[in-house]
Amino acid sequence: MENTSTVAPEQNPMAVYMNQLSSCEIYLREGQYRRILENINLSIHKGEVWGLNGKSLLEIKLLLEIMANIKPYYDGRCVLLEIGMMRRKRIILPHVFYIGTVNMIYNNMNVLEYLMFATANSKIEVVKRQKQLLKLLIDIGLGNISLTPIHTLPSEFRVIVILLTAYFSSSELIIFNVPELKYNNQQITPMKNIARLISDSGKTLVFSSIDSALIQEICTHTAYLINGSIVFSGTISEFCEEYDDIILTISDQQPYLIMESMQKALPQYKYKVSDDRLIISKPSTDSRVNVESIYNVIFKMGLNPYRVRMNTKTVKNAVEGILRKYDL
């Protein structure tokens, strides 16, 4: 339970390496066959926190199942922590902790009791261990549920407790594969704290999610899957930079009037009205932007909107951008 600092993640050795990987599973739609995963290339280093996102829940779930050695892959190469995959699938690899379901936890205990039960083989004295665990639960934002029976908790909290248990294990790679769950702010905070604990202890966390806010909050890196292939893999900031094409938003009571004027003056940008807000975006992800010219136009035309706000890059916008790019 002691934290250990590590060197910068990029210098760390490889935790997951996938090369030209394709799945055994195949889609059959209107007589056409397509591998669910095709040509997957991914490199994850130790100490990083990765969020795998995608258009299809099935694809991201399957990718992590293959990564955890639970399902076989058809072709390519997959190496975990610089150790090759075992031929016998589903066997527990000592260095991987896989979380694939909320049912892995015993329901008839409370959270603290379960953590005490799970860490019973720890060498720390019982009273001291319980105090440490309770303190940790409070520190990471789970104090309110520490004495709650697990069967009364929603699935999201249950998997968070499992994730916390995984942190106490000796496994270096934690694969958290429950993408069907959606987390609220009360749940994202402890997840963020646990992810930080995992990362600080030199372990690697890879999780699947379609929740952009969660990825934004807790990940250092992300990968995005479309039609069975990874179309982006890199840091969160790179992802946002590349695909979040919103330049600024203008709030006003008459956004359509402003849009008409702006379209005439600066036709090279894209305009969209949403909830009394005019959103101005880049025409394409690689085009150049001159924010000053937009401000000048607003000023010169005397539009005087209620509020103009520069866009802070977000994963949510980037996901929308990537979907637009791939026409989905």
Residues that bind other proteins (CB under 8 A): 24-30, 33, 36, 56-58, 61, 65, 68, 70-75, 90-92, 97-98, 100-101, 103-109, 112-113, 116-121, 126-127, 130, 149, 151, 162, 165-166, 168-169, 171, 180
Q: Could you tell me the smallest distance in angstroms from the CB atom of residue 94 to other proteins?
A: 9
Q: How far is the CB of 58 from other proteins (least distance, A)?
A: 4
DSSP H or E run through 96: strand 96-99
* Cα–Cα dist 298/283, whole Å: 19
Measured CA to CA, the distance from residue 313 to residue 216 in angstroms comes to 10
Instruction: Say if strands 277-281 and 83-84 run parallel, antiparallel, or are unpaired.
Output: unpaired
Task: Please identify which residue in the block is written with the tokens 């329901």.
Answer: 107
How far from the centroid of its chain's Cα atoms is residue 232's Cα?
A: 13
Q: Closest approach of Cβ 40 to other proteins, in Å?
A: 15
Six-digit token pair at 63? Answer: 């990718």
Nearer CB in complex with other proteins: 143/305: 143
Nearest-approach distance from CB 275 to other proteins, in angstroms:
26
Instruction: Quote the CA–CA distance of 23 and 36 in Å, as a whole number.
Output: 6
Q: Report the 10 Å Cβ neighbour count for 29.
A: 7
- Torsion, Cα of 280, 318, 198, 7 (10° steps): -80
Q: Closest CB to other proteins among 29 and 288?
A: 29
Q: How far is the CB of 143 from other proteins (least distance, A)?
A: 16
The tokens describing 228, both together, are 């069975």
Nearer to other proteins, 154 or 305 (CB): 154
- Output 160 or 278, the one with its CB closest to other proteins: 160
Query: Shortest gap between Cβ of 69 and other proteins (angstroms)?
Result: 8
Measured from the CB atom, the residue of 61 and 313 that comes closer to other proteins is 61
- Closer residue to other proteins, CB minimum distance, 106 or 256: 106
List residues bridging with 246 in a β-sheet.
281
